[in-house]
Structure 1
Amino acid sequence: MTGERPLVVAADETVLDEILRVAAVAGCELDRAPDLTAARGHWARAPLVVLDEEAARLPPVLPRRGGILLVCKGNPGPRTWESAFRGGVERVISLPDEETELAGAFADVVETPAEEAGLVLGVVGGRGGAGASVFAAALALAADREPGGALLADCDPLGGGLDLLLGLEKTPGARWSEVRLSGRVSVASLATALPQRRHRGGSLPVLACGPEGEGPAVESLSAVLSAGRRSGRTVVCDLPRALSDPAAEAVAVADLVVLVAPVEFRACMAAKQVLRPLSALTARLGVVACGRSRSGVAADQTVGLLGPPLLASMEPERGLAATIERGEFPTKPAGPLAKAASAVLAFARREARAAAR
């Protein structure tokens, strides 16, 4: 983020209120001036200047510069275009239709795009009780220890709430029912409003469905995924087996979707049904096998029936259920769960880098 804040010069209170609202959503603080003369002290240093029509129509009293936006209500008329040309305006933005463009300009000031794009990872259970939510949390914690950090997004309204899984049910912070986003947003600003799970590598923000079970809207989830990718942050989505519209959106844009499947023949048959709609949306699929086969058949043979590659195999982790019940997640840093999460994360990064070449 730059050391200076965008400058807003607006006399129209209605337009000013809209500009301030969009900036708040983007997590962008502003400097304000009532007119161009009062703006002199910030004019040259501001990374972005936003004018309303009244300010733009005044005779130029300051030197020309780049990065000037003119915000107007409704479609711009001839006088607006004339003022924009005379004042060296870079772009005219019409509200409310082009609110996303204004939010994007503020977001670019707050968070310049990362050198390496962040990942979007989805996790879904092959059957109920497979441990997909637990694996999603472990995967997000592994990613949060790396540069860029992570965010864990609960996309399963019927899953009981990831905040409960991580012992955050009483921790203040926004849940999906309070998050209504669209277009460009600042993921760093969003993260500060969420409950966070502290761990040895830092603090993982969690966007949970909450006790009422209200999940994300498509627009809100899409905004979070785009913001995470742009900022270099890994967003891990805990997905329902029956895909809702928001979950389908996450699957379609994900760099990798991981199916967690117990090493049991019946569980694999159930997992094949889960895979069918996933395969219609993406080919970027992988399997994590969990548990032990009662028949003694190797995990790669059992889950080989599913089709996608086996990314990791997890032996049962002793005391895992009791540890989670005590609210002590994350579990053993060198246990089967953590090792499988690290293996999947490494695979996803290799694939993303290869695709970017």
Structure 2
Amino acid sequence: MDRDDEVLLVTADGPLRDAVEATAAALGLRVRVVDVDGALARWPSARVVLVGGDRAAALASTGPHRRPHVYLVGFDPVELGTWSMPLGAEVIPLPQGTAWLGGVLAADAGPDSRTVAVVGGSGGVGASTLAAGLALAAVRRGLTCALVDLDPLGGGLDLVLGAERAPGWRWPRLLGARGEVGDVRGVLPVVEGVTVVAMGRGPDEGALTVESVGAVLGSLGRHHGLVLLDPGRVPLPAARQAVRGAEATVLLAGGGVRAVAAASRVAAGLEGAGAGVVVRRAPGGPPVTVVADAVGLPCWGDVPTDRRVAADAEAGEPPGGERSRWGKAVARVLERVWQEACDVG
């Protein structure tokens, strides 16, 4: 469903209303203040929904469907955190989060962009490789694409792309970002047309924060049609917040018994607007539909287990050529994922 330009604020709290309207006015935006019934009526189409802590319980009790761009705002972080999971919403505490709120409103007012997270259902299944493959397929399709590493325990997305020596900033140089930041494309590595935000490898990288990740993703969303996230199997708080704001989440599941069992547990904890499973096929493994049913998510496609993809990584080359079996399968997955993300957003 297409979004309209409304920013909804669900609250009856006067000071909260004043704080949010002041931030919006500074950006030349207007806020529509509504009650719970008004929010439900506009829930599918509003561009952004801000939920005050005073109305979070009432809204959550109605069981609204998951959608992106929902944020809890208020002056009590503990109260807000209680309703984050039930509403699938990010938490913006005020007044300390005022700059972040402004960045959120400015980012979501920009050109239409889609954010997709790629999560592994079990260790070593190849989620980072799939994320990189989807990014390359997106560029070949004509999309502008950014690939964002949010997993400090992973091997590094620049390594997956064979770009560990590529010039440009990594996360340690971006940790000071807050609120609305300018165009960061000029300082980031670009690999075969994909803008890459990779983890650093120094002894003191610093920790990703919700504020810095939100600011960088906001900038990327204003200049890319697709932003792909690699949050890792055990996401940090900043990565979890980013996944909640994604239009779609891809869960990559292996076909073995243990891999399917692990993917089922990961699927149960996924947060966000919509999720689907992509199955990594293996010789002699169960049918893709059987794996998807066991995981409990709709099937968005499958990819083969291809030794050449691993060989590409060892050789420092991006994964899977466009004409390879794996590359063609990833291109098909991209089409499905893109459609799912557009339908949600």
TM-score by length of 2: 0.64
* 1:331 to partner: Cα distance: 2.2
**Cα distance change, pair 129–355 in 1 and its aligned pair in 2 (3 A):** closer
The match for 2:289 is 300
**Aligned mates of 1:121, 1:98 — CA distance in 2:** 26
**Aligned mates of 1:222, 1:100 — CA distance in 2:** 7
Match among 164, 175, 181 for residue 185 of structure 1: 181
Q: Which runs of 5+ in 2 are unaligned?
A: 1-95
Letter aligned with residue 292 of structure 1 = A
Match among 295, 298, 304 for residue 315 of structure 1: 304
* 1:250 to partner: Cα distance: 1.7
Letter aligned with residue 229 of structure 1 = G
**Aligned mates of 2:273, 2:103 — CA distance in 1:** 32
Match among 180, 195, 208 for residue 205 of structure 1: 195
Match among 210, 213, 216 for residue 218 of structure 1: 210
**Cα distance change, pair 101–335 in 1 and its aligned pair in 2 (3 A):** same
* 1:249 to partner: Cα distance: 0.9
For the 8 Å contact 2:247–2:344, the answer to whether it is kept is: no
Letter aligned with residue 207 of structure 1 = V
Bigger Rg over Cα:
1
| SS state at 1:145 partner | helix
For the 8 Å contact 1:154–1:215, the answer to whether it is kept is: no
Letter aligned with residue 144 of structure 1 = V
Instruction: Give the stretch that moved more between structures: 244-253 or 327-336.
Output: 327-336
**Aligned mates of 2:199, 2:142 — CA distance in 1:** 27
For the 8 Å contact 1:265–1:302, the answer to whether it is kept is: no
The match for 1:113 is 110
Letter aligned with residue 181 of structure 1 = A
Higher relative contact order (CA 8 A, sep 6+): 2
| SS state at 1:319 partner | helix
For the 8 Å contact 1:228–1:235, the answer to whether it is kept is: yes
Match among 223, 229, 249 for residue 237 of structure 1: 229
| SS state at 2:235 partner | coil
**Aligned mates of 1:193, 1:346 — CA distance in 2:** 29
Letter aligned with residue 166 of structure 2 = T
CA deviations 1:216-263 (Å, max 9, x no partner) are 321121123233333343111112111210111121111111111111
Q: How many residues align?
A: 247
Letter aligned with residue 190 of structure 1 = V
CA deviations 1:285-308 (Å, max 9, x no partner) are 1111113153x5212212320111
Following superposition of structure 1 onto structure 2, how do residues 81-230 of structure 1 map, counting pairs within 5 Å? Answer: 113-114=110-111, 117-179=112-174, 180-186=176-182, 189-198=183-192, 203-212=193-202, 214=206, 216-230=208-222
**Aligned mates of 1:327, 1:124 — CA distance in 2:** 23
| SS state at 1:153 partner | strand
For the 8 Å contact 1:311–1:343, the answer to whether it is kept is: no
**Aligned mates of 1:185, 1:231 — CA distance in 2:** 12
| SS state at 2:118 partner | strand
**Aligned mates of 2:248, 2:104 — CA distance in 1:** 26
Letter aligned with residue 304 of structure 2 = E
| SS state at 2:117 partner | strand
**Aligned mates of 1:162, 1:104 — CA distance in 2:** 26
Letter aligned with residue 113 of structure 1 = G
CA deviations 1:92-139 (Å, max 9, x no partner) are xxxx9976799899x89xxx932xx11101011111110001001011
The match for 1:29 is none
**Identity value in percent:** 35
In the alignment, structure 1 residue 264 sits paired with structure 2 residue 247: no
**Cα distance change, pair 142–290 in 1 and its aligned pair in 2 (3 A):** same
